[in-house]
Structure formats: C-alpha cells, structure tokens
Amino acid sequence: MRFKTKLPKEKAAYNWTLVPICALALSCPALAQEQSPANQTNSTAAAAAPAAAPEDWNFHLQNTDIGQGDLPFPAKYSGPNSLDNKGEVEETVTLDLFAGKRLWSGGELHADGLMWQGFGLSETTGIEAFPNNDAYKFGTQNPRFMFSRLFIRQTFGLGGKQEAIPDDQLSLASMQDISRITLTVGRFSPTDVSDTNAYAGDPHAQFMNWALVANNTWDYGSDSVGFAPGFTAELNQPNWTLRYGCFMMPKFANGFTGDDQFLMTPPSSIGFGPFLKDWAMNAELERRYSINNHPGAIRFQTWLNEANMFDYQTATALLKTDGPDADLSTVSSFRHKYGFGLNWEQEVAKNVGVFSRLGWNDGQEQAWTYTDVNSSGSLGVSVKGDAWHRPGDSFGLAGIVSGASSANQDFLKAGGLGILAGDGVLNYGPEEVLETYYNRQLVKNIHGTLDYQFVNNPAFNQDRGPVSIFGVRLHYEF
C-alpha cells in the first residue's frame, strides 16, 4: 500500500454562528472599550513587565474559535491528500487551562489541559504552509482532551544583574538572574523553547499559518497534535542564549507518542517506539542586539532526527514497480534526517517590526511529524495599532515560499503520499502563500481577527489552484 499519513477522523458539520458573531464584532466600534497595550508573546524585543514578589502559583485560560473557508478553484486532477477544489468551510475550537505551581527555589511545575474540536480544510491536507495552526492533523467531531503540557522547569541563577520574569501561561512571575541555566523536562512542544519570534509565533493573536508560527522544514519531535516528552537546557547571558532539546518521535509517521496512552482522552492505543532510536534533537543559538535603540534578534538552529523512515529514492522505485498500493514499510529502516534554520526579527520603528524565517532539510527521507517541505523562506511585517490610536490592535502581512527536494518531487509524481501532499501525480512548482490579518481588540481580553490567505501551487502542484482562503478568529484569554 502507499504511504499515507492521515489518521482516522470523524467529519464534523461547520458551526455557522461563528462568522456573523466575529464579523459583527469587528465592524462595530461601539463594542470596543478602553484599550490597553497588547501583550507581545515570545518577545525578545519587548522588555519584561515589572514583577512583584515571586508568585507561588498562577492560573490562565485561553479559548480560540476559528472559521475558515476557501472558494472553488481550478484543478486538473485530485488525489487522496488533495485540497477539495469545490470549496469548503471548516471550524476549529481550542480551549487551554494553564496552571503553574512553584515547587522550591527555582523550581516550577506547569500543566496545560487542552480541549480541541473540529477539522482543518480537507482534514488538514492539500497545503504545505497550512492556513490554520489550530487545525491539528488529528481532527475530531467530538471534543477530545489531553494534557498537552506537563513539565517541571528548574532555573539556576549564575549571579549578576537580574530581570523580571512576567506572569504568563507557562511562567510564574519572579526576579531571575540574567545569567542563568534553565532545565525543562516533561511533555511540551519544542516550539515552546526554540524558534520563537516576537512578530510571528502566536497563532491566537498573530499570523495563523503554520509556516509563520514555526519553521516548516523543521520535522520536530511531536505527536499529531504537536506535543511530546522531552528535555531542554538553556544557557542565558545578557546578549545571547544557547539552547538544546531532545524529544521523542512517534512510533509511526504523523502518529501519537506513547504517553498519549495516559495523557489523552480517549487514550491512544499506540505505544512507544525504541527509546534509543525514535528521537529528535535540536540546538539553537540566539543573538540579541539593538540598532539605534530598536531591538532585534537572530537565531541559528540545527536539528537531527532518527525514526523508522524510508528514503524517497527507494520508495519511488517501489511505487514504480508495484504501483500505488506498494507496501512502503518493507523499505523502511531507522535513518537520520537533518536540517538548518534561521529566524530573524527586527523592530524598524516604534510598534513596527519585520521578521523572516529560512529553513532547509536534507530532503532524502520521508516526512515524519510536521510537513513535507524541504526548503522554505518567509518574510513579513507586523504593525501595532498605536499609529491609528488603537494600541490593542495589530496588522500583519507576510509571504511564504516552500519547496520540495528533487527526491521528494519524484516520490509525489509516482503517487506517493506525504503528511500534507499527495495529489496522485505532480506538476512541480514551489508553493507560494500570502497571509494578511487585522486583529482587533473588542473588549478587554477578547480579540477578533479577519484573515485572508492566497495560495499558489498548493502542495507544490502547478496543476491545482490558485486558492483564496478567508478566515475569522475569536480569541479570549485571561
């Protein structure tokens, strides 16, 4: 049989109430009360808010509802993983309950109970730079629950000046040495620690596209929702930070990790793979700087994975010999896959920032957890609403180009299926995506967003598209 990564899903009907609610709220200035400056998540560009006495515990909640629809578009053919060219509308709902507890000096315990429901367009297939980051690859008609994060963090101060760490969803307010070592162990996402960006990293307040939330060539260790058991170590200094992480890979491509047997309801039946063979490591060096009092940061990242993968060349030969139903597991073995990434952010004027991500992986082994992309680049701008007297609002515009290696192209042309791509055949062209959004603060802690994305050559295929995707987002947090 062909390599296919779709997990079994139940189809859900779209809740049309989300569209008029968000559209009405965005169009009615009377709904907006007095604005306060929006918090900037994952920001090295913004100074931390002053902290009071160290928090002993905290509690946060976030809820995000997203509706997206695409118009009918031209397509010469379709395959098992193709975006439906007749047009469709889908909805996703996520609810996170965060809790943090101080255990001892420098020690914190954090938990995140995640509920999710809904589907991405075409069950989250057909576009590599997928337009909804909350559209997990395991969609569900009925709500499902998991502990997406459950970890202990230990910080060791190295002396010298201190800085305020603010109260946040995954941190307790405190004063910490700027020079410090931080160790984190448990279940969380590699993107909680690495590849963060002040202007493109929070899909609930900023861009929604996968490739603008994380590097879409980074096949990082995670289950099909985005989390896995792992360990990270960070050495922080005044102007730079060095990070290392090691996470478990799922036993099967685009599947669940073994801990989902215990931390998800209903539980997964998939166990752990070999501990010494199913893993994903990454390292990142971040350098912070300032140009004319405008802060910026650049992050260089590298990663190395091992899993029971096939290589594209051998799999393609088998498809050509045995046809599209060839059993590709017969040519799988434990292999290594590696890549590199560059992440940049720069404030260019007050409340205006630009950013970029570049990524590359060796492109010889099958995609395992994230996307089928082997090379990528993105560039964008983010503007806060102070210029038009709405400091709680923001606007963003960004472009993404994603490419596939020649070996990956041959595999898809032969009828192979990746995580997101698989039209049966392929007339290759780099996938090009443009996203723009306006995020409006409706009342305190509630934001509504209008989003538009244009996709050319979806899933690397010039015989399909272009596609216009319209979205609305309603987000609440405290």
Both structure tokens of 26: 């965005």
Average pLDDT value over all residues in the chain: 90
Both structure tokens of 202: 């929070």
133-138 average pLDDT score: 94
- Place 446 in a pLDDT band, splitting at 50, 70 and 90: very high
DSSP notation for 267-304: PP------TTTSEEEEEEEEEEEEETTEEEEEEEEEEE
Rounded to whole angstroms, how far apart are CA atoms 122 and 75?
15
Q: What are the tens digits of pLDDT across the range 467-476?
A: 999 999 999 9
CA 318 to mean position of chain CA atoms: 33
φ, ψ dihedrals at 308, nearest 5°: -80, 70
Going from the C-alpha of 121 to that of each of 82, 143, 206, 252, 261, the distances in angstroms are: 10, 18, 20, 23, 27
Both structure tokens of 91: 């909805």
Q: What are the tens digits of pLDDT across the range 340-394?
A: 999 999 999 999 999 999 999 999 999 999 999 999 999 999 999 998 999 999 9
Contact 357, 215 (CB under 8 A): yes
CA R_g for the chain: 22
289-293 average pLDDT score: 96
Question: What is the percentage of the chain residues whose pLDDT exceeds 70?
Answer: 89
Half-sphere exposure of 332 (CA within 13 A, CB side): 17
Q: What are the tens digits of pLDDT across the range 150-161?
A: 999 999 999 999
Residue 462 has pLDDT above 80, yes or no: yes
- Place 52 in a pLDDT band, splitting at 50, 70 and 90: low
Q: Give the pLDDT score at 224.
A: 94
The four Cα atoms 26, 136, 5, 305 give a dihedral, to 10 degrees, of: 120
DSSP notation for 380-408: EEEEEGGGGT-TT-EEEEEEEEEE--HHH
Q: Give the pLDDT score at 428.
A: 98
Rounded to whole angstroms, how far apart are CA atoms 117 and 134?
10
SS3 85: coil
Going from the C-alpha of 300 to that of each of 196, 205, 215, 304, the distances in angstroms are: 11, 25, 12, 14
Q: Give the pLDDT score at 292.
A: 94
Residue 35 has pLDDT above 50, yes or no: no
Q: What are the tens digits of pLDDT across the range 209-246?
A: 999 999 999 999 999 999 999 999 999 999 999 999 99
Q: What are the tens digits of pLDDT across the range 139-189?
A: 999 999 999 999 999 999 999 999 999 999 999 999 999 999 999 999 999
φ, ψ dihedrals at 85, nearest 5°: -85, 0
Q: What are the tens digits of pLDDT across the range 299-323?
A: 999 999 999 999 999 999 999 999 9
Query: How many angstroms separate the most distant Cα atoms in the chain?
Result: 68
Q: Give the pLDDT score at 5.
A: 47
Beta-strand ranges (E) seen in 105-237 are 107-118, 140-157, 162-165, 174-177, 180-188, 228-236
Q: What are the tens digits of pLDDT across the range 379-433?
A: 999 999 998 999 999 999 999 999 999 999 999 999 999 999 999 999 999 999 9
Contact 1, 108 (CB under 8 A): no
φ, ψ dihedrals at 25, nearest 5°: -65, -40
Domains of the chain, earliest start first: 18-477 (2.40.160.10)
